[in-house]
Amino acid sequence: MLSIVRTLWDIFLHAFRKRVTIQYPEQKAYLSARYRGRIILSRDPEGGERCVACYLCAVACPVDCIALQATEDSPGRRYPEFFRINFSRCIFCGYCEEACPTYAIQLTPDIEMGEYSRQNMVYEKEHLLISGPGKYPDYNFWRVAGVKIGGKDKGQGEREAPPTDLRSLLP
Amino acid sequence: MISPYPAVTLIAVLFGALTIAGGLVWAERRLLALWQDRYGPNRVGPFGLMQTLADMIKLFFKEDWVPPFADKWVFIMAPAIVMFTVLMSFVVVPFAPGIIISDLNIAVLFFLGMSSLGVYSIVLAGWASDNKYALLGGMRAAAQMLSYEVFMGLSVMGTVLLAGSFDLVDIVNAQRHMWFVVPQFLGFVLFMIAGIAETRRLPFDLPESESELVAGFHSEYSGMKFGMFFVGEYIGILLVSSMITVLFFGGWRGPVLPPIVWYFMKTCFFLVFFILLRAALPRPRFDQLMAWGWKLMLPLALANLLVTGAVKLAFFH
């Protein structure tokens, strides 16, 4: 019986504590920087698209919500012709971000994506592409990759040695 | 003797009880939330005050369906019985000196009789639903209510002995020197527990909690019939709070403020206390509940009556 009275007093004191409710939409919950929210496609620090249309994200996606098509501009830089994510399918797992070799596709802490029609939840490249580098500000894949694109020849990347000349006799 | 303006008092009590029950819907949700570290409804109007209105509108618009396999007239009548008995019990409650609908000289017996009739509504609802789980819920509710009614009557007898009358006005007047909660503290505790069990509030709300788990005696009810059970429960709590203040806490007696204000303040205190009980206590198992009622509460009620009678005979005659 005494424990009942003690419980009553204890619960009564809860009236004088702060309430833990977050009054959305006037107040918003704190989402950390690595929160897996809305997906974006980022650009490198020089302003070009990071995505090289390697299809790794589409393969890694457990629900197959990414669709893209690779194409190349002159001279040799790959980019996606279209890049489509169906957000009504997306489970925001982050596997695509982990699979991406160029830090192009990223998940941001933005969760306000409600729509009335399912068609409006299919985001195209122009909806996904942002103008900045996102979470990884200094990385440019093309500087470290060994391919020849406009402005950089083979052997001119960072930490890259020039290709060996097979026909000369020198070591 | 009845009050000078019986019709006015009648209408006032009827509308007052229904309005306060509606206000209780809001108050319970806000107070439960207060004690659970959250807000209750706070969007629908200032402080969520329009929430009850929204709920009532929703209930009115629901499909009022009588199951085709149910016993139709009993099904329709059962919620009306609970409203009827609870509202009838308000006829004998003294709100202030002179404000009472009917000053029966067997008021306490009338109140006990009406609460016993209230058990019918649960049993009939469970039976008429033609649903095994509703029937089980109804039977359990009936068993609980009957066993707790046994000592409800006995616990009140102490106050009747002290006041020398079954008339509630005499009981309130007999408390002019000291509220009956002081000599009859055990009776007060027993009556409060019995009152909670009668109105099926937590921690004795197995009939309703079963509706969260499986079904319950009102599982087949929707729309306004369910609304009648729902509002009838709140009017029941209001009634039990009123009876506690009248029987044990001096009713409308108090120093400075007008009597009706004292009555409302005391009743409100008990209403808030019942909501605190709901927020704080866990629910006992049904066999624990029944064992407590018969093996602990009933002997205590008998002992209380015995000692009160003995003391009154020995010292006051």
pLDDT per residue as tens digits for the range B34-51: 999 999 898 888 888 999
- pLDDT of residue B1 exceeding 50, the answer is no
pLDDT per residue as tens digits for the range B239-288: 999 999 999 998 888 888 888 899 999 999 999 999 999 999 988 888 89
Could you give the CA distance from residue B205 to residue B286 in angstroms, rounded to a whole number? 10
What ipTM score was computed for the predicted complex, to two decimals?
0.83
Q: Is B106 helix (H, G, I), strand (E, B) or coil?
A: coil
Chain A positions in Cβ-Cβ contact with residue B35 (cut-off 8 Å): 11-12, 14-15
Measured in whole angstroms, the distance separating CA B79 from the mean position of its chain's CA atoms is 15
Helix, strand, coil percentages in chain A from 3-state DSSP, rounded to 5: 20, 20, 60
Q: Among candidates B90, B239, B247, B89, which has minimal Cα distance to B155? A: B247
Tokens of B142: 């009936």
pLDDT category, B213, cuts 50, 70, 90? low
pLDDT category, A103, cuts 50, 70, 90? very high
Could you give the CA distance from residue A114 to residue B38 in angstroms, rounded to a whole number? 26
Q: Among candidates B251, B246, B270, which has minimal Cα distance to B108? A: B246
Query: Does the distance separating the beta carbons of A18 and B276 come in below 8 Å?
Result: no
Could you give the CA distance from residue A98 to residue B302 in angstroms, rounded to a whole number? 74
Contact A128, A83 (CB under 8 A): yes
Phi and psi, residue B292, nearest 5°:
-60, -45
Domains contained in chain A, CATH given:
25-144 (3.30.70.3270)
Query: Does the distance separating the beta carbons of A17 and B38 come in below 8 Å?
Result: no
Could you give the CA distance from residue A98 to residue B202 in angstroms, rounded to a whole number? 51
Could you give the CA distance from residue B307 to residue B184 in angstroms, rounded to a whole number? 10
- Residue B179: partners with Cβ closer than 8 Å, 6 or more residues away: B248, B249, B250, B253
- Average pLDDT for chain A: 90
Phi and psi, residue B101, nearest 5°:
-75, -45
Q: Is B96 helix (H, G, I), strand (E, B) or coil?
A: strand
Of the candidates A7, A12, A17, which has its C-beta nearest B37's C-beta? A17
What average pLDDT does this structure show over B116-122? 88
Is the overall model pTM greater than 0.90, yes or no? Answer: no
B34, B192, B273, B283: which to substitute to probe chain A, counting the most A Cβ within 10 Å?
A: B34
Contact B163, B110 (CB under 8 A): no
Share of chain B above pLDDT 70, in %: 96
Buried b vs exposed e over B181-195: b needs ≥16 C-beta within 10 Å? Answer: bebbebbbbbbbbbb
Query: Chain B residues with CB-CB distance to A under 8 A?
Result: 33-39, 276-277, 279-281
CA angle B234, B196, B117 (to 5 degrees): 75
Share of chain B above pLDDT 90, in %: 43
pLDDT per residue as tens digits for the range B217-245: 777 788 888 888 888 889 999 999 999 99
For the purposes of burial, counting CB atoms within 10 Å of the CB of B177, is it exposed (0-12), middle (13-18) or buried (19 or more)? exposed
What is residue A118's DSSP assignment?
G
pLDDT category, B212, cuts 50, 70, 90? low
What average pLDDT does this structure show over B130-139? 83
Could you give the CA distance from residue B115 to residue B128 in angstroms, rounded to a whole number? 21
CA distance A97 to chain B (A): 37
